[in-house]
Amino acid sequence: WRRAACSSGALTSAGTIERGTTVSDFDPMEKARGHSMDIAIASIDHAPSSDRSYHLNFIDTPGYPEFRGPALSALAAVETAAIVVDADTGVEHGTLRLMERARERGLCRAIIVNKIDHEHADCVRVMEQLREAFGNGVLPLNLPADNGRRVVDCFTGADGDSDLGPVADWHQRILDQVVEVDEGVMEHFLDGGESGLSPQELHQAFEKALREGHLVPVCFVSARTGVGVAELLQVAEGLFPDPTEANPPPLLRRNGHGDEPLPLQARPADAGGHVIADVFKIVND
């Protein structure tokens, strides 16, 4: 998130893990070990244009399996779970577990492939692993190009080439995946092709595909160089659901008599409604 904060102007420097200057790893033991050990919460206020502004909340969680508990507890506090996979190591056991728990909670899921500039990065292999592990709904929104030196949009654009082949091929795949969740959008698409779809129709179909787990978008980045981070920020702002658009959280009703709790049908978030708080982290200092 620190690169996203720099891209938005919230930070002037992303800091480095090696120097212990990252904002999210603020604990002295985290600085000494060079990795996260607990949840860190941060937010970004970003105004990409004069008529639009966004407030994004990030929960940075540890990646090492020894600290999987905090990562799992953070799922209760988000609308979208963005799972980071390294381009040099690929899908690991922790990836599988977090993706499954996020699916069980009905969360929208996305995958961020980091380290695309690493000397041992193999984005083709990683994409194959992701689709094999999580299905054909795993599709990229952008693609690495020039050996990870830049990324190209394959959701709204179809021109050019990438490290994973022609952009047009992936553009067609994700378009087909998105429109098939809505019969009306599919009808317009079949009648008039891509030009027959309005931006609003495509956006609504995209969010529906996310909510239903029919689509798991992939974004490629390099946290070290910043490649793809501005594009990831645009995706989070424009395509990921806000609390009023996401699936309501799973809730249980207890009667206080020891009976089995019953599922409670939650309503969509409403700023004018009753407050329901879910405490996902307690600190005892």
pLDDT of residue 212: 95
CA dist 221 and 3 (Å) reads 10
CA 267 to chain CA centroid, Å, is 23
Beta bridge partners of 152: 143
Q: Which CATH architecture has domain 2-243?
A: 3-Layer(aba) Sandwich (3.40)
**Positive or negative, the Cα torsion across 276, 268, 259, 104?**
negative
Which pLDDT belongs to residue 168? 96
Per-residue tokens: 190: 């079949």
Regions of the chain short of the pLDDT cut 50:
1, 6, 12, 20-21
Q: Give the pLDDT score at 13.
A: 53
**Which pLDDT belongs to residue 78?**
93
163 close to 143: Cβ distance less than 8 angstroms = yes
Q: Enumerate the domain spans of the chain.
A: 2-243
State pTM to two decimals: 0.84
pLDDT the model gives residue 213 = 96
Q: Are 48 and 237 in contact (CB under 8 A)?
A: yes
Beta strands in the chain (DSSP E): 40-49, 52-60, 80-86, 108-114, 138-140, 142-145, 150-153, 161-162, 165-166, 216-220, 251-253, 262-264
Q: At what angle do helices 93-104 and 123-134 cross, to 10 degrees?
A: 40
pLDDT at position 119 is 93
Residue 64's pLDDT is: 66
